Amino acid sequence: MPKDTFNNLSAEKKRIIFDAAVQEFSTRRFSEASINQIIKTAGISRGSFYQYFNDKEDIYLYMIMEIGKEKLEVLSHTEALNPDADFFENFLHMTRVALTWAKTKPDYNQVGLLMELDDSEFIAKLRALSTEGLAIIKGMVERDKQRGLIRQEINSDLVVEMMYTLNINLLKDIYRNGSEEEMLKKMADMYDIIKGGIARV
């Protein structure tokens, strides 16, 4: 929730400030990021910053919302998957999309990863808000239980947690770990393990 003064700014100037924020928050985690750095990059004065935002949380929130909008914009243009696809197909598809997104907007992705690393009060609250995604995934697991694709006695929450954890973990390596295909392969292999187990039958 930036102040009115900020909203009155020209789109270009807003963009400059947004970019500066992204640059800072993709480099240092929230608690270590510095307003000083942002205003230097954006080329605005200290006083102006506080005329635009209340504090660091304020601009962070604004930035996250903007990123969210952009992401939604892109994702809405993504081809939908066959509605009958099973959990794994769905998840892999989501992973593919997420991976592409991360490659397209590496800065935005970094912001997300650093968010995962942060443990400040504020970020914890923020993270707690973005759990609807997990509910959807859980729904997919349970549908597959209904359809007899996944065993009844499996704990859906646990599966979701595992997949989520592994997914985040893999995203961390994204810039180290060479090509997109390699990463997708790795993900697919992990999912196969979750699906079929590693034990010899």
Q: Which residues bind DNA (CB under 7 A)?
A: 4-5, 8-9, 33-37, 44-48, 50-52, 55-56
Q: Which bin fits 178, alpha (ψ -120 to 50), beta or left (φ > 0)?
A: left
Q: What angle do CA 133, 20, 43 make, to 5 degrees?
A: 160
CA–CA dist 23, 17 (Å, integer): 10
Using the minimum distance from each CB to a second copy, give the nearer residue, 49 or 167. 167
Tokens 């991976």 belong to which residue? 99
Using the minimum distance from each CB to a second copy, give the nearer residue, 80 or 128. 128
Least separation in angstroms between residue 187's CB and a second copy is 10
CA–CA dist 62, 155 (Å, integer): 37
Partner in contact with 124, chosen from DNA, a second copy, none, beta carbon below 5 to 8 Å by kind: none
- Closest to 172 measured CA to CA, from 108, 125, 92, 110: 110
Q: What angle do CA 157, 158, 164 make, to 5 degrees?
A: 90
Least separation in angstroms between residue 68's CB and a second copy is 24
Using the minimum distance from each CB to DNA, give the nearer residue, 10 or 82. 10
Partner in contact with 21, chosen from DNA, a second copy, none, beta carbon below 5 to 8 Å by kind: none
- Closest to 60 measured CA to CA, from 12, 15, 107, 21: 21
- Residues in touch with a second copy (CB under 8 A): 29, 31-32, 114, 117-119, 148-151, 154-155, 158-159, 161-162, 165-166, 169, 186, 189-190, 193-201
Least separation in angstroms between residue 56's CB and DNA is 6
Using the minimum distance from each CB to DNA, give the nearer residue, 52 or 62. 52
Partner in contact with 190, chosen from a second copy, DNA, none, beta carbon below 5 to 8 Å by kind: a second copy
Using the minimum distance from each CB to a second copy, give the nearer residue, 83 or 197. 197
The phi, psi pair for 43, rounded to 5°, reads 75, 30
